Each structure stands twice: as structure tokens, then as C-alpha cells.
Amino acid sequence: MSTNTPGTVVVCGAGGFIGGHLVGDLLRRGHGRVRAVDIKPLERWYQRFPEADNLVLDLRRIDDCRQAARGAAIVYNLAADMGGMGFIENNKALCMLSVLINTHLLLASREAGVERFFFSSSACVYAHDKQVDPNVEGLKEEDAYPAMPEDGYGWEKLFSERMCRHFTEDFGLATRVVRYHNVYGPHGTYDGGREKAPAALCRKVATAVLGGSRTIEIWGTGEQTRSFTYIDDCLYGTRAVLESDTVTFPINVGSSEKVSINQLVDIVEQVAGVRLERRYNPAAPKGVNGRNSDNTLIKRVLGWEPGVPLRVGMERTYRWIFDEIKSGRSVDAVVNAG
């Protein structure tokens, strides 16, 4: 598929972390008609580009989805009510209500004659019984079945994947589905309850440095393992899958560099030049014991896998969060990036 397809490219969830980066990436690559959509007021978007057509819409509503999809050639659905483990474990119903967004966007995209529809799924779709050991092997795409995903958020994502599949089979709408693995980087949430582990740990270390504290709270035992995908790799993988004529199935876009949470703290401390006393909170939400991305499939079909080293991505992320906290800027302060 040509990247120069005429027509509007729509990014839903553009006020969020990945969506904001995606809008900027599209504009830098010469897409002249980019429509950016989010439910949040414009002043609360993490990045806002004046070159884009920026709309505040509630995509749970079918009429708003029709407005978003009007005249579109490509629709990226990154919109969801979600956050890190602290949010999704305590807001299962809100997470599942995001099914309205994908359902109505698919309907509106079909009506509008959209050429290609992208859905951002998650590693949370993978079966829980394959993630009980911190020494977990990488999760292959087929490990989503028999289904036992993360309660709430994972079920919504898995259902929405199936909805995309059946819109392709029954209506001919070309859909692409990516399972993101813990995407992180600058220009996203780092406090307030929706932040994910990399940003939360960067905030905790930066706050300790700035405030003179010598302690840090770690959720769980610190032995749970994950892989974390830097935003630049996420954008490349998103673009490659969207443009592919062969990747018509859900596929991992995730780093295979597995680390424990304790090792992730080590990296942030090294970047910050401090060593903190760790206080563990086993009662806090911690998710599965182990999760990592198996990249066999994406390497075979696209000849690529995420490659930004965790140390490099975390240094960039920490520096940005440190500067934000030090400056006193709001976490929701918009960046006019155009």
C-alpha cells in the first residue's frame, strides 16, 4: 500500500501518548491531510499539531465516529479508556466500554469507504496461564487462544480483534491489528494513576532526586518480568504493518529485551546517578508474573523487530520526565509541536 494514498488519514486517540507521536510522524512524512481526534479538551492533549485537523469527539458515539471517518482513506484506532496496571485492575468496566469505540469506528469506516483500518491491541490479550513464571518464554501470536486474557481490558482488546477480523471477512474492510507490548517514551502520562511502569519509575526516581529522598516504592516483589518497547520502534512497526499487504492477522510489536522490574529500576537509577532504598508493596497491582514478546513472526514477514535498547529509551524518557517535574509543568500540558 502506498504511503501517499490520497485522502484523509485519521488518528483516533491523538491526544494520547502513542496517538500524539503518530500524528507527528505522519506529518513529518508528508501526509498533507491528517485528522487528529480525541475526547480530551485540546489543552490536555500531550502533543498538538496545528497542521492537523484537530477535533474533540466522543468516539463511543456512532455519530461522532461518522464525523471522524468522513472522507478518510485510513483510520488508526488508538483510542481507549486505559492506563497502567493500577488503572486497569481497578476500572474493568470502563476498560471494556472501549468496545463501543472500535465497534462504532468500524461501522463508520465501512460506511465511509475507508481503505484500511488499524486497531491497536495489546499483549494483555495473551492467556494468563502462559504468564505465571517470571522466566516466561516470548509470547507467540497463537498464545492468545484458548482465551484467558487480562480481565476487563484484555477481553475488550481480544473481542475487538475478532470484530476487525469479521469486518474483513464479511464486509471486505481491510483491517490491521498490532499487539503492542508496553510502549514507553517522552510526551505521555507519568502520574495521576494511568501511568505505566517505565514512566512511573522515572517519576519516582526523579522526585526522589529533586526532593532529596533516598527511598522508592516498588509494586509487587520486583521480580515480575516484562519487555518494554520504545515509541520510535512502535511507530515504525505500526507503519510497516499498516502498509503491508500480507500482515492480515494480529501480530506482536514489542521488544524481546526482557527485564525484571528490579532491573528496570537499576537502569533508571544508573541514568539518574543515584541508588535508592527499595520498599516493596506486595499488595499493589502488579499484573502477571512474566510477559515478553516473541518476534519470530514479525521477523519472518517484515524482516524487522524492535531494536532500540532499553537503556537508550529509558534515558530519553527519564530526562523528559525529570525536566517536566523540575519545571513544574502540568502532566497534561500540551506541546504545540508544529
Sorted by sequence, the CB contacts under 8 Å of residue 175 that are 6+ apart come out as: 106, 116, 117, 118, 119, 164, 165, 167, 168, 248
User: How many angstroms separate the CA atoms of 337 and 169, rounded?
Assistant: 39
Q: For residues 90 and 285, is the Cβ–Cβ distance under 8 A?
A: yes
Sorted by sequence, the CB contacts under 8 Å of residue 47 that are 6+ apart come out as: 20, 21, 23, 24, 187, 334, 335, 337
Cβ neighbours around 218 below 10 Å, total: 24
The catalytic residue positions are: 153
What is the sign, positive or negative, of the torsion defined by CA atoms of 99, 239, 8, 54? Answer: positive
Q: For residues 176 and 115, is the Cβ–Cβ distance under 8 A?
A: no
Q: For residues 232 and 308, is the Cβ–Cβ distance under 8 A?
A: yes
Burial 160-174 (b: 16+ CB within 10 A, else e): bbebbbebbeeeebb
User: How many angstroms separate the CA atoms of 137 and 130, rounded?
Assistant: 9
DSSP SS3 for 171: helix
